[in-house]
Chain A
Amino acid sequence: GQNIDQPTEMTATEGAIVQINCTYQTSGFNGLFWYQQHAGEAPTFLSYNVLDGLEEKGRFSSFLSRSKGYSYLLLKELQMKDSASYLCATPWGSSNTGKLIFGQGTTLQVKP
């Protein structure tokens, strides 16, 4: 089966760095996604990793270790607007049809 785990809640201070971890178990692997979701809104795409290593995109970076079934999202120079839920997701099995399985989401609260 497939299983994705991430912490439920995190709190950080404006300007700081925060790392949100995600562990997964899948029957196949076709990449790992991170989405950001503000309350009451639809998720928006942040990053996609299919190879091991760190992918940097501005203030956000995402890391993947396929051998460990582990990923993290790194947010630097936190801003108040970064308060949101961050969802880790993988494609179902090894498909590329867009059918994603989501983790429970990590609610990040950024404080002044």
Chain B
Amino acid sequence: GAVVSQHPSWVICKSGTSVKIECRSLDFQATTMFWYRQFPKQSLMLMATSNEGSKATYEQGVEKDKFLINHASLTLSTLTVTSAHPEDSSFYICSASLGGRGSHTGELFFGEGSRLTVL
């Protein structure tokens, strides 16, 4: 299967600071990546679709000015949590799909996840 790498795996920051999380597709090119957020004991909630070379598409209720997404190359998407607050503490997971080229249509390959704790 395809490999997606995410960094950092965990980060602790002070309230009001910004944090950048990177998501890389290591052995394939991903024109589209997805960013999910997961709170404890809850399922994955799609935040946004990251599109290479264009603006990200945000889901309803997700602030685009707070969660900045940049997809400057076919192998890298970044999520920046700006002016982080304790309520932003969560598990952020990126994912990518091979589209119709994968073994299963639409199968998602996930990064390792990044656990953000805002003090």
Contact = CB atoms under 8 A, between A and B. Distances in A.
Contacts of B107: 33, 45, 48, 98
A104 interface: yes
Contact of B43 (A41, A96, A105): A105
Given A40-B115, A42-B112, A48 B41 contact: no
Interface string B76-119: 00000000000000010101111110001111111111010000
A50 B112 contact: no
Nearest to A107: B41
Interface in A55-105: 87, 91, 95-105
A100 B105 contact: no
Contacts of A97: 32, 49, 97, 99, 106
> Number of contact residues on A: which range applies?
20 to 34
Given A45-B1, A103-B43, A96 B110 contact: no
A98 B43 contact: no
B95 A96 contact: no
Given A98-B99, A102-B43, A107-B41, A41 B105 contact: no
Contact of A104 (B6, B42, B105, B111): B42
Nearest to B102: A98
Interface of B: 1, 6, 32, 34, 41-46, 49, 91, 93, 95-100, 104-113, 115
Given A42-B111, A98-B96, 4 more contacts: A45-B109, A48-B104, A50-B105, A100-B108
